[in-house]
Chain A
Amino acid sequence: MRAVTLSDDRVIKDLKKNFVVVRKNIAGKTSYAGTSNTHLPTYAAMCVNNSSGHHNVQMFIMTQDGRVLHCLPGFWHPDHLIAEMGLAKNLGKLYYKKGISTAKRNELFLNMHLEQALKNDKRMRNSSKLQGFDANKMKKKEGSDFKRTEGFIKGKLKTADQVMHERMAALPFIKFERFNVKKYIDMGLKRYKYDYGVPGKDKYAKKKKSSEKKKKSDKK
């Protein structure tokens, strides 16, 4: 997140202009906090699919009184985070709009989330495919909302961006304290396997090293 998304100039500009930023370390503090290899700021990193590491990172966008407008679980590419932040800003405007009934406001909240899911382009959907281990878990899980039950692609798994908006649509302006994070981030395994850059565990670095060794020995 820090190496790719939060450090992106466009993300920083948007966050500084429209949001008050705050962070919290949830290690050992919540029942849903995930586990993975410890990744230091001195290790290399790479872009992964949107929502990867859903149990390790959650980004909430809230109103001034703590009502959740949006929640993005796991990693999100800067292009896609910016798009989702745009939706959250519009939902914020809706929350503070005067002369509108609660029922209408909630209905519009639902519509806006579902419309955003429809609007998400192929690039976003391709980047939001569950990783293999998460997809396997969701395929096996009975009644999972990741499974398509209608249409000609019945049985296939939906992408994380689609499920995220469907889940958010059902939680209009819910207070953060009442937001069921554990249920919301149920997108696969609690342990996130991210070895890239971790010394001794990074398969990519090992491969690179051995191919360099081979090149050297071929030259000799």
Chain B
Amino acid sequence: MVKKTSWFSTFVVTLVLLGAAFTQVEAGPGKTRFTAKEVEKNTKKVMSQLPWAKNLSEAKELAKKKNKLVFYIQIVGELDGGL
């Protein structure tokens, strides 16, 4: 026996599906979590892949030579240690 679906429930389901298709979800980036291993790997990546200048004056000199801007991060603790 094939159960007949009422025209009303089909209409409601279509409306919901259409609504979902045209609604833009604009949530924040969410609380993405990183395991200890990932943090360790990413920390090593930050330290090895970015060419860190020794201090701000050296960074300014290098920026002049390379025609770049200075990105200066001040932080409580060490980037490759305890923060």
Q: Which residues of A contact B (CB under 8 A)?
A: 1-4, 6-7, 12, 15-16, 18-27, 30, 33-36, 38-49, 55-66, 69, 77, 79, 85, 88-89, 92, 121-123, 126-127, 176, 196-197
Q: What secondary structure prevails in chain B residues at the interface with A?
A: mixed
- Extra contacts besides A16-B49, A24-B55, A25-B75 (14): CB < 8 Å: A3-B34, A7-B43, A7-B45, A20-B60, A20-B71, A25-B74, A25-B77, A27-B77, A33-B76, A44-B39, A46-B32, A56-B77, A64-B67, A64-B69
- Which of B2-10, B13-21, B22-30 lies at the interface with chain A? B22-30
The interface residues of chain B lying within 8 Å CB-to-CB of A41 are 39-40, 43, 80-81
The interface residues of chain A lying within 8 Å CB-to-CB of B64 are 64
- Please tell me if the beta carbons of A123 and B76 are within 8 angstroms of each other in the complex: no
- Please tell me if the beta carbons of B26 and A6 are within 8 angstroms of each other in the complex: no
- Please tell me if the beta carbons of A66 and B70 are within 8 angstroms of each other in the complex: yes
Closest 8 CB pairs of A and B: A7-B42, A127-B28, A22-B59, A19-B71, A126-B28, A41-B43, A122-B26, A22-B53
- Please tell me if the beta carbons of A56 and B76 are within 8 angstroms of each other in the complex: yes
- Please tell me if the beta carbons of B30 and A47 are within 8 angstroms of each other in the complex: yes
Candidates B35, B38, B63; contact of A64 at CB < 8 Å: B63
- Please tell me if the beta carbons of A21 and B33 are within 8 angstroms of each other in the complex: no
- Please tell me if the beta carbons of A3 and B72 are within 8 angstroms of each other in the complex: no
Q: Which residues of B contact A (CB under 8 A)?
A: 26-36, 38-40, 42-43, 45-46, 49-56, 58-60, 62-64, 66-83
- Please tell me if the beta carbons of A21 and B53 are within 8 angstroms of each other in the complex: yes
Taking the closest CB of chain B, its distance from the CB of A54, in whole angstroms, is 11
Q: How far is the CA of A6 from the CA of B34 in the complex (A)?
A: 14
- Please tell me if the beta carbons of A3 and B73 are within 8 angstroms of each other in the complex: no
Q: How far is the CA of A65 from the CA of B75 in the complex (A)?
A: 22
- Please tell me if the beta carbons of A59 and B51 are within 8 angstroms of each other in the complex: no
Q: How far is the CA of A64 from the CA of B46 in the complex (A)?
A: 23
With A18-B69, A43-B36, A62-B69 already in contact, the answer to whether A25 and B78 are too (CB < 8 A) is yes
- Please tell me if the beta carbons of B56 and A39 are within 8 angstroms of each other in the complex: no
- Please tell me if the beta carbons of B69 and A69 are within 8 angstroms of each other in the complex: yes
- Please tell me if the beta carbons of A127 and B29 are within 8 angstroms of each other in the complex: yes
**29 A/B residue pairs, CB under 8 Å, sorted by A:** A1-B79, A2-B39, A6-B50, A7-B45, A12-B46, A16-B51, A19-B63, A19-B69, A19-B70, A20-B60, A20-B66, A21-B51, A21-B52, A24-B73, A26-B75, A34-B76, A41-B40, A42-B36, A42-B39, A46-B32, A47-B33, A48-B31, A56-B75, A59-B72, A60-B73, A60-B74, A62-B70, A64-B63, A123-B27
Q: How far is the CA of A30 from the CA of B75 in the complex (A)?
A: 11
Q: How far is the CA of A59 from the CA of B45 in the complex (A)?
A: 19
